[in-house]
């Protein structure tokens, strides 16, 4: 459980918000595509800043496209990202079902052995 929590923490750091993908060490580039946080965050950013959004009070980033370019996510396919997230949800549900089924069978076996 602690290993999974540590991996999620690593993935959250390397989703592209704290460090953009070009700043990742070579040996950690795989984590960008592996983390489900990446796909949710990219889709959110595209929804929020895509489509010609402009900011009159920001000289550094006058348009939403500039914000997306800073974070290196100017070519996001939201449909693909949503499908990846649905796949992650399916895998998590399947793993949960397997664990719960195994625990149920083990407890049923222990209860029948005790009687």
Q: 24-64, pLDDT tens digit by residue?
A: 888 888 888 888 888 999 999 999 998 888 887 888 888 88
Q: Of 43, 81, 38, give the one whose Cα is nearest residue 29.
A: 38
DSSP state of 63: B
The pTM of the full predicted model, rounded to 2 decimals, is 0.77
CB contact at 8 A, 24 and 45 = no
Is the model's pLDDT at 100 over the cut of 90?
A: yes
Average model confidence (pLDDT) for the chain? 87
List C-alpha distances in Å: 23 to 5, 20, 45, 61, 68: 23, 6, 19, 20, 16
Question: Could you tell me how many helices (H) and strands (E) the chain has, helices first?
Answer: 5, 0
Segment 13-27 shows an average pLDDT of 84
């Amino acid at each position: 459980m602690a290993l999974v929590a540590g991996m999620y923490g690593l993935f959250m750091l390397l989703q592209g918000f704290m460090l953009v993908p070009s700043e990742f060490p070579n040996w950690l580039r795989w984590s960008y595509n592996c983390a489900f946080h990446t796909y949710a965050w990219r889709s959110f950013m595209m929804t929020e800043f895509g489509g010609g959004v402009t900011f009159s009070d920001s000289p550094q980033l006058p348009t939403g496209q500039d914000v997306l370019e800073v974070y290196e996510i100017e070519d996001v396919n939201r449909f693909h990202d949503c499908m990846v997230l649905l796949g992650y949800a399916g895998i998590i549900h399947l793993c949960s079902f397997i664990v719960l089924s195994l625990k149920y069978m083990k407890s049923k076996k222990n209860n029948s052995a005790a009687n």
